[in-house]
Amino acid sequence: MHRLTAALLAAALLLPPAASAHDKLTVLLDWFVNPDHAPLVVAQQAGIFDRHELLVDLVAPADPNDPPKLVAAGKADVAVSYQPQLHVQVAQGLPLRRIGTLVATPLNSLVVLRDGPVKSIADLKGRKIGYSVGGFEDALLRSMLEQYGLNLSDVTLVNVNFALSPSIFAGKVDATIGAFRNFELNQMDIAGKPGRAFYPEEYGVPLYDELILVAHSGRLQDPRLPRLLDALEEAVAMLHNRPAESWAAFVKDNKALDDDLNRRAWKDTLPRFAPSPRALDSHRYARFAGYLAKQGLIPKALPVADYAVELK
């Protein structure tokens, strides 16, 4: 009996350590908590992560540019990021891979006052356009203007930081590029100055995923990652099946979010969440990479496997 016990103990010592009941996982958000993060927050508050034996720490960044860089440096497990940003960062050498999708459609748009003088893209000639972040937003605007025989030299670009709607209200600019259609349009409507949005995907820009999840390219075998995606899939189903219960879970620890703007944004964002977060449309990613290369934002379109994967 003693020899058997010793043998079993020796065999046990040769096995890898068993995973704890709940594995910790750090997810860096792209910005402060808002309805774009609904699947993550609801999965946390409704016990879905718990059912998948995950203890997820959702962290809002001090600088929204940092999350992918911190994941690339091995200082966090997963980051919420943007598909256009991913292409650029991988081209720069960051070891990142898209492992999942949160918001599967563009949110970016060009916004003007609904009752203002700009009724079509052609009306932007000679006018001022505000922006927050150069690079990709410039490319979007260029593509949209080209549909009407215009280019960036036909407009004046004004850096308004993140004061997109206020800059239009104050008359500093005639339009803004980079406005999220689920937020800025609602913000303008609440202020009594409703807006009109022009959507890039209707003006020559290929469809892309707005919000994605990225992980370190050397850590794709981490067993926590598929469980994270399974939990998010359940959370998206809950958002659609039980919207009132989901909203209550979302604002449970975020009372400041329980206001008119966020309720409106919540309703407008729900249809845009990826029903299967792990699913990867390789053709769509390759097409968008080709667009970015044509716009000069990346040197060349890399193979999809170099920046995006579908985990099993």
Q: What is the pLDDT of residues 90-106, one digit of tens each?
A: 999 999 999 999 999 99
pLDDT attached to residue 237 = 98
Place of tokens 């170099």: 306
Contact between 167 and 160 (Cβ < 8 Å): yes
* Of 92, 78, 87, 98, residue with least CA distance to 30: 78
pLDDT attached to residue 6 = 40
Burial class (CB in 10 A: 0-12, 13-18, 19+), 56: buried
pLDDT in tens, 44-62: 999 999 999 999 999 999 9
Q: Going by C-beta distance under 8 Å and a sequence separation of 6 or more, which residues neighbour residue 101? A: 209, 211, 212, 213, 274, 277, 279
CA distance 177 to 163: 12
pLDDT attached to residue 21 = 79
Q: Give the residues across from 215 on adjacent strands.
A: 78, 97
What Cα–Cα distance (Å) separates residue 69 from each residue in 77, 140, 221? 11, 24, 20
pLDDT for 152 beyond 90? yes
Contact between 97 and 220 (Cβ < 8 Å): yes
64 confidence band (pLDDT: 50, 70, 90): confident
266 confidence band (pLDDT: 50, 70, 90): very high
Higher pLDDT, 207 or 132: 207
Place of tokens 């593509």: 143
**Would you list the DSSP string of 43-78?**
HHHTTHHHHTTEEEEEE--SSTTHHHHHHHTTS-SE
* Of 233, 235, 205, 234, residue with least CA distance to 310: 233
Length of the chain: 312
pLDDT attached to residue 130 = 96
Q: What is the pTM of this model?
A: 0.90
pLDDT attached to residue 18 = 42
Helix (H) / strand (E) containing 28: strand 23-28
